[in-house]
Amino acid sequence: MKKIIFATNNKNKTAEVIALLKDQYEVLNLDDIGCTTDIPETGNSFAENAALKTAYVFENYRLDCFADDSGLEVEALNNEPGIYSARYSGKRGDLDNMNLVLQKMAGQKNRKARFKTVVSLIRDGENYLFEGVIEGTIRAAASGVKGFGYDPIFQPDGYDITFAEMDMAKKNEISHRAIAMKKLISFLKEH
């Protein structure tokens, strides 16, 4: 089975991607290749941040790899937290970040939001980008214990439950990351 490097140390993201790619690839993350560097995400967009991560791995390890940058964009908050989703509250803590969004959304009528993922792939030195978006709304309170990040307050359009109330298989069918990863998988199969 072919190996592919996922430029992340996030165990939750790694588990989601392994579930998506398990039939085609052995997915290794940064820990697996001995990369302990916290790769800076200094870009101004999800695409730039994802590309920074793949460029770092390629330049330092000479391995083909992919990385994603994902986040929540809330319409009433001028698309915040956006690229700052993982550290929106000033800390890298899911609960603190989620609570800040809920606090800022108190009393807001417009609850529209979207999750966005951009996957960057470096293959043979060439960079490719794949995007996935899922629209939804922000709940007034957290609900569910599955998932991670903002999953307990994000209800995807067409569903009456949050991502945190879905099992991983269902979330992997419809999520922003799943949409982007399906585009990546199609590309890998064709090339």
Return the axis-axis angle of helices 11-21 and 176-190, rounded to nearest 10°: 50
Tell me whether residue 90 is exposed, middle or buried, using C-beta atoms within 10 angstroms of its C-beta: 0 to 12, 13 to 18, 19 or more: exposed
Q: Catalytic pick from 23, 31, 32, 69?
A: 69
CA distance 153 to 155: 7
69 is catalytic: yes
User: Do residues 153 and 136 touch, judged by C-beta distance below 8 A?
Assistant: no
Amino acid at 180: A
Do the beta carbons of residue 5 and residue 56 sit within 8 Å?
A: no
DSSP structural state of residue 143: -
Residue type, 86: A
Tell me the sheet residues that pair with 66.
6, 121
What does the alpha-carbon distance between residue 97 and residue 38 come to, in Å, rounded to a whole number?
Answer: 20
CA distance 137 to 71: 14
Residues classed as catalytic: 69
